[in-house]
Amino acid sequence: MQNRWALPITGDDTEAKAKVAEFTNQIGYDAVDCGTLADSWKVEADTPIYVNAYVSEIPKGMTEE
């Protein structure tokens, strides 16, 4: 198993998400399906899943949720 970065993908079109996942694989990343477009807010900038991989401490005012 390779040690690779993962990129979140969201969408309502299963076929389109499969194509995006294949593309991310081809350029050296793993894709993580994070649900529908309605769920996409969970992986927006300034949310824990977006930020925690890049900081050693959770920024003041943010929670681990």
Within a 10 A sphere around the Cβ of 36, how many other Cβ atoms?
Answer: 12
For tokens 């991989």, the residue is 53
What is the Cα–Cα distance from 55 to 34, expressed in whole angstroms?
A: 21
Contacts of 28 (CB under 8 A, 6+ apart): 4
* Cβ–Cβ under 8 Å, residues 10 and 35: yes
Residue 54, pLDDT above cutoff 80: no
What residue ranges do the domains of the chain occupy? Answer: 6-54
Residue 63, pLDDT above cutoff 90: no
Q: For residue range 7-44, what is the model confidence (pLDDT) as tens digits?
A: 889 999 999 999 999 999 999 999 999 999 998 888 88
Residue 51, pLDDT above cutoff 70: no
Residue 49, pLDDT above cutoff 90: no
